[in-house]
Amino acid sequence: MNRFAAILLALLVSAPAAVSAQANRDDLTPLEIAYTTTVSDDLQSYLIDLEVKNLARPYLHVAMPNWMPGTYYIGRFGDNVRELRATTTDGRPLEVVQMDHQTWSVAIDGVAQVRVSYELPSNRRRRFRQAEADGPLTGVRLGGTDTYLYVRGSKLVPVTSTYRLPAGWRVANGLLPTDDPMVWHARDYDTFADAPTILGVFEERSFDVDGTPFWCVFFSNDQKYDFDIDAFVALVRKIVINQGELFGSFPFPNYVFLFSLPGGGGLEHLNSTAIGLSPERQKSNPEAGASVTSHEFFHTWNVKRIRPMVLGPFEYEHEDYTGNLWVSEGWTSYFGDLTLVRTGILTPDEFLSLMGRVISREQSKVRRLEHSVYWASRNVWHRSANETEPRVDYYGKGEMLGALIDLKIRHETGNTKSLNDFMRFFNRWFAERNVGFEEGDVERACTALSNYDFSEFFARHVHGTVDPPLAEYLAYAGIDYQEDVIPCSFSFPLFGTRVGGRRGGPAPEDGAPRPGETVVSVDGQDFSGNEFFRGRKPGDSVTLVLRDGGGSERGLQVELADKPIVTATLSFNPRPTPLQLEIRESWLTSVN
């Protein structure tokens, strides 16, 4: 008898004893999962209780996601978890072992219901660039994946969420409401975690579009809303109507815009978005927040539902790589801006100026020929804060390519098809079937829709680094394109007259400006921006006067770099052909 046969015989002989001692390992009864979020009395932390029922297993594994969808960086949110403990319903403690920085194992000890409790620090700056609030907090903002543990292997189980808040505070998020304003539901963990929440005192407006309700929630800790909220909400409604008409329906029962003041930027979600607004800009111009709002709302379809295959269901432990963020983000920027001109928020000339700025920014990047926009999409996970020169941006380059592809499709089909049709097709074929598209599907669909072979375009301009044919393709809509190239500029990046650069900035002995300094003058003349460089050449030495945030000034001599500045100018040709005029008018006015 060989060794394996002996082991097998021993197992068979011992089988009756093992059978008589085995425990119930039920894996058919669905778990019940409920969260309770309690804001501490001192408003400095949150207490999260995760209750899991119908357990029939020896161990329960819970984990905190490593990243937040839409942000594309590993955040290690599990590092923020404090005082994690597990108990039975009668308060008996259970053994907990932390297996890694994001995962905990709970020994069930034969019970069917377990409560896992932990604390998270209150972070007023979460998701928005906001200064610390003066006085006591009147509300807090919660994310999802950086706040709530999930049960390993049970992310598809429906979720109940309950909130325990200070007196007078309310709840605003995109979850499904119940009769109790403090209890909400979600179909699964991904949906629950994709619903940011404002807890506190806030302003609210609502409107209805063909039976679908929309809410606009405005939160400022000082409770000052010194701008025309109603005028801004009217713009939001225009955006919602226009983008809904493009797709023909809304893919949600309700939608919530969560506007936080002061702040900047935004992040998309399934039926909500969290956006930071500047109250000063809103006061001077109610349209100030229209661009970010249009962009984030278009994400309702593009990336949240029309998504690369790897972006759902989410893998929260590791990076999810895709080369198509130039479509998911870049085309969202493109359609976001198109929405503004189609609704009259921007004039056609303002839209061309906006496109010109996008093109100028991308064409001025000295590193734009190093890497493709496809590479930029995949490499987003590994961006370095120490890079002093920007590389290809899948937002800007993606928007530029989206416009060119749209005009090419219109030209090749005699204006019978467009990128509008592409989005509707991907919505029907992928989003409504709840599946993601594969890496080559965008190119294949563009070719099929137009009956024009896009393979060389994608090889050169998406997977390659060749500059796209801007003048040729823009001419399809009767748009004249010109580039003004100044051959040199500073070796360091500028934002207006403010110096950019790597975090922390170079040391003074480097002989370079520090990030945050402002260029006051060059060679004794007031610095007027790019026009200063005209007539100069790389290697010329100039003397700067720089001013820091405290008002102190210093002189510095630098050499101009071989770093061209490209200014793109787009203008409407006053004598377009009939086809050019037809393409132009439908492009800028119609979702059909």
Q: What is the rounded distance in angstroms from the CA atom of residue 245 to the CA atom of residue 586?
A: 15
Does domain 488-563 fall into CATH 2.40.37.10? no
Please state which of the ranges 122-131, 152-161, 175-184 shows the lowest mean pLDDT.
122-131
Per-residue model confidence (pLDDT) at position 198 = 96
| Percent of the chain scoring above 90 in pLDDT | 78
- Asked if the bond preceding 313 is cis, omega within 30° of 0, the reply is yes
Q: What are the residue boundaries of the structural domains of the chain, listed by start?
A: 32-289, 325-479+574-589, 488-563
What is the pLDDT at residue 6?
61
CATH, domain range 325-479+574-589? 1.10.390.10
pLDDT band at residue 345 using 50, 70 and 90 as cut-offs: very high
Rounded Cα gap, residues 396 and 71, in angstroms: 17
Q: What is the mean pLDDT of residues 411-438?
A: 97
Does this model's pTM top 0.75? My answer is yes
For residue 44, what pLDDT band results from cuts at 50, 70 and 90? confident
pLDDT bin (cut points 50, 70, 90) of residue 14 is: low
Matching fold, domains 325-479+574-589 and 488-563: no
pLDDT over 50 at 272, yes or no: yes
Residue 220, pLDDT > 60, answer yes
Q: What's the DSSP call for residue 342?
A: H
444 close to 438: Cβ distance less than 8 angstroms: no
Parallel, antiparallel or unpaired: strands 255-261 and 272-276: parallel
Q: How is residue 433 written in tokens? A: 């079937």
Helices (H), 304-418: 325-328, 330-342, 348-363, 373-378, 396-412
The answer on pLDDT for 130 being more than 60 is no
CA distance 300 to 243: 10
Coil, strand or helix at 558: strand
pLDDT tens, 455-482?
A: 999 999 999 999 999 999 999 999 999 9
Is residue 147 a contact partner of residue 68, using CB atoms and an 8 Å limit? no
- Upper half-sphere CA count for residue 218 (Cβ side, 13 Å): 22
pLDDT for 45-59, tens place per residue? Answer: 889 999 999 999 999
The two three-digit tokens of residue 376, written as one number: 């930029």
pLDDT band at 13 (very low <50, low <70, confident <90, very high): low
Q: Using pLDDT thresholds of 50, 70 and 90, give the confidence band for residue 508.
A: very low
SS3 content of the chain, % helix, strand, coil (to 5): 30, 25, 45
Q: Report, as an integer, the average pLDDT of 88-99.
A: 96
pLDDT bucket at 568, cuts 50 / 70 / 90: very high
For residue 4, what pLDDT is reported?
60
Is the four-CA dihedral 292, 293, 299, 301 of positive or negative sign? negative
Q: Please name which of 52, 45, 163 lies closest in space to residue 104, comparing C-alpha atoms.
A: 52
**What's the pLDDT at 503?**
45
Say how many CA atoms lie within 13 Å of 477 toward its Cβ: 26
Phi then psi for residue 140, to 5 deg, are -140, 160
- Number of C-beta neighbours around residue 77 at 10 A: 23
pLDDT at 326: 98
Model confidence over 157-206: pLDDT tens digits? 999 999 999 999 999 999 999 999 999 999 999 999 999 999 999 999 99
How far apart are alpha carbons 511 and 492 in whole angstroms? 12
Where are the extended beta strands (E) located within 459-515?
479-486, 494-495, 498-499
pLDDT confidence tier of residue 9, bands split at 50, 70 and 90? low
Q: Which of 122-136, 413-427, 482-496 is predicted with the least confidence, judged by mean pLDDT?
A: 122-136
Q: What is the pLDDT of residue 306?
A: 98
pLDDT at 192: 97
Return the SS3 of 515: coil
**How far is residue 521's CA from residue 13's CA, in Å, rounded to a whole number?**
91
pLDDT tops 50 at residue 507: no
Q: Where are the alpha helices (DSSP H) in 130-202?
A: 189-193
* Selected residue with higher pLDDT from 187 and 505: 187
Q: What is the pLDDT of residue 195?
A: 96
Round to whole Å and give the CA distance between 331 and 306: 12
- Angle among Cα 16, 18, 19 to the nearest 5 degrees reads 65
Average pLDDT over residues 139-163: 95
Whether cis (ω within 30° of 0) applies to the bond prior to 468 is no
Task: Flag whether pLDDT at 516 surpasses 80.
Answer: yes
Give the number of C-alpha atoms closer than 13 A to the C-alpha of residue 128, restricted to the C-beta side. 28
Q: State how far the Cα of 255 lies from the Cα of 240, in Å rounded to an integer.
A: 10
- Compute the distance between CA of residue 30 and CA of residue 85 in angstroms, rounded to an integer: 24
- Contact in structure between 470 and 403 (CB atoms under 8 Å): no
- Band (pLDDT 50/70/90 cuts) for residue 494 is confident
Task: Determine the pLDDT at residue 88.
Answer: 96
Maximal CA-CA distance, the chain = 97
510 compared with 585, residue with greater pLDDT: 585
* Confidence (pLDDT) at 513: 86
Q: Which residues are CB-contacts of 119 (< 8 A; sequence separation ≥ 6)? A: 45, 46, 47, 48, 81, 82, 83
Which class would CATH give 32-289?
mainly beta
- Strand runs labelled E in 210-327: 212-220, 255-261, 266-268, 272-276
Phi, psi of 583, deg, nearest 5: -60, -45
Question: What phi-psi label fits residue 524: left (phi over 0), alpha (psi between -120 and 50 degrees) or beta?
Answer: left
Give the least confident one: 142-156, 205-219, 512-526: 512-526
Could you identify the residue written with the tokens 């808040």?
A: 165
- What backbone torsions phi and psi does residue 86 show, to the nearest 5 degrees? -130, 140
Whether 316 contacts 67, CB under 8 Å: yes
The whole-angstrom separation of Cα 53 and Cα 32 is 5
**What is the average pLDDT score of the chain?**
91
158 in Cβ contact with 185 (< 8 Å): yes
